[in-house]
Chains A and B, each alone.
Chain A
Amino acid sequence: MIWYGIFISGILNFFTKFLSLSFFDAIKISPKVKQLLIYVPSAVFPAIIFPGILLDINGSFDLENNPKILASIIAIITAIISKNIVSTIFAGLAVYWLIIFI
């Protein structure tokens, strides 16, 4: 089943790019749709971020003694200040490991 998933997702990903590259005309696409696509990361990624930090494997809240919360707050502050992907990841991981191992 995994292999079907990989192939179908791969084909869909490819066609998303191929069809738009071959047949869409950026000038003709409504500006509203263009603007909306810019919001895709902001609308999609938090749905991976929030459960990954705040919920445990069973889907219940995991708020006490959860090192991911502080690490993520530091990561977000780093992101806002630096606007840099690498330093954001390093800041988050550093704080996370610091809490776990000390």
Chain B
Amino acid sequence: MNKKIILFLKGVVDIVPLLIPVIPFGIILGAIGVELGFSPLETFATSLIIFGGASQIVFLQIISGGASLLITITSTFVVNSRHLLYGASFSEYLKNLSLGWKILLSYFLTDQAFAVSNIYFEKNKDEKLKHYYLLGSGFFLWFIWQIATLIGIFLGSIVPEKLGLAYAVPLTFIALLVNYFRKIDHLIIILISGCLSILLFNAPLKSYIILSSLISLSLAFLIISLKKKEDKK
């Protein structure tokens, strides 16, 4: 078989375990979009165009709460800023690719595709075709995400409101923090950000997500600086 296809398929296979949580998340997103009052087309467009689970939920939730476009976009951007790290980590491996490839891979880059590809890239630095691996893992997640969103959109229009599907939003975000609850520094930031969001909930323009995120990140910066000093001692 062609080497490109083998690498593409390897990416597909390796990302499968990480898709298990992606499927219910996509379904929840589709259902929530419809429940919040968005049309099926608008909900699906967020998956196709924004393509980032957490960002999409923040987007739908804030804009349906009556926030301005600027606040909605900024809040979505804050959620997304972690992707800066992914792109930067891969730039070294992918610097020789054409512009078209970079555009394609940037679109398909997600938390999960980053996680598997980063491991593969580190082990196969000299593999010239390694970008096919990222394409395989990124594309397959994208494909599953679109399908899951469609299922959710369909279910959302038939699931009774009594089930309280809106609770799935905070619950999903709790689940996305599973790796951080055991780390004391992260736990501090989580609690501070949470308390701030309650205190600032009625701040003008629905800016509570941006404000509590930025204040908590400043505190995180302080923690990093203090840790560095500790390490130097």
A and B from one complex:
yes
- Find out whether the CB atom of B107 lies under 8 angstroms from the CB atom of A14: yes
Residues of A within 8 A of B94 (CB): 21
Q: Are B103 and A18 in contact (CB under 8 A)?
A: yes
Q: Is B208 an interface residue (CB 8 A)?
A: yes
Docked pose: A89 CA to B176 CA in angstroms = 10
Interface size class of B (residues with CB under 8 A): 35 or more
Q: Tell me whether A89 and B21 are in contact in the complex, defined as CB-CB below 8 angstroms, given that A37-B82, A39-B189, A50-B198 are known contacts.
A: yes
Judge whether B83 and A7 touch: CB under 8 Å. no
Is the pair B213, A75 in contact by a Cβ cutoff of 8 Å? no
> Are A12 and B77 within 8 A (Cβ)?
yes
Is residue B182 contacting chain A, with contact meaning CB distance below 8 A?
yes
- Residue A98 CB within 8 A of the other chain: no
> Given A13-B55, A43-B220, A86-B24, are A18 and B102 neighbors across the interface (CB < 8 Å)?
yes
In the complex, number of A-B residue pairs with CB atoms less than 8 Å apart? 270
The residue among A2, A5, A79, A80 with the most chain B CB atoms within 10 A of its own CB is A5
On whether the beta carbons of B84 and A24 are closer than 8 Å, the reply is: yes
B194 at the interface (CB under 8 A from A): yes
If A17-B83, A50-B198 touch, whether A72 touches B170 (CB-CB below 8 Å) is yes
Chain A interface category by residue count = 35 or more
Interface residue A102 (Cβ < 8 Å from any Cβ of B): no
In the assembled complex, B156 has its CB within 8 A of some CB on chain A: no
Instruction: Determine which of B25, B81, B179, B198 lies in contact with A40 in the assembled complex, contact meaning CB atoms within 8 Å.
Output: B81
> Are A20 and B171 in contact (CB-based, < 8 A)?
no
Question: Known: A51-B208, A54-B198. Is A40-B174 also a contact (CB below 8 A)?
Answer: no
User: A3-B42, A21-B91, A26-B91 are known contacts. Are A93 and B171 too (CB-CB below 8 A)?
Assistant: yes
Give the distance to chain B from A22, nearest Cβ to Cβ, in Å: 5
Q: What distance in Å separates the Cβ of B9 from its nearest Cβ neighbour in chain A?
A: 23
Q: Which residues of A contact B155 (CB under 8 A)?
A: none
Chain B residue at smallest Cβ distance from A43: B216
Query: Is A75 touching B171 in the complex (CB atoms < 8 A)?
Result: yes
Q: Scan residues 1-54 of chain A and give those whose CB is less than 8 A from a CB of chain B.
A: 1-10, 12-14, 16-27, 29, 32, 34-54
Q: How far is it, in angstroms, between the C-alpha of A49 and the C-alpha of B181 when the chains are bound?
A: 14
Is A80 touching B174 in the complex (CB atoms < 8 A)?
no
CA distance A76 to B90 in the complex (A): 33
Please report B residues at the A interface, Cβ cutoff 8 Å.
Answer: 20-21, 24-25, 38, 42, 45-46, 49-52, 54-55, 57-59, 61, 63, 69, 72-73, 76-92, 94, 102-103, 105-107, 109, 162-164, 166-182, 186, 189-191, 193-198, 201-202, 208-209, 212-213, 216-217, 220-221, 224-225, 228
Given contacts A8-B73, A39-B224, 4 further A-B contacts (CB under 8 A): A12-B73, A48-B209, A52-B166, A53-B170
* 9 A-B interface contacts by CB (under 8 A): A5-B72, A10-B49, A24-B88, A27-B92, A43-B216, A48-B58, A48-B169, A85-B178, A86-B20
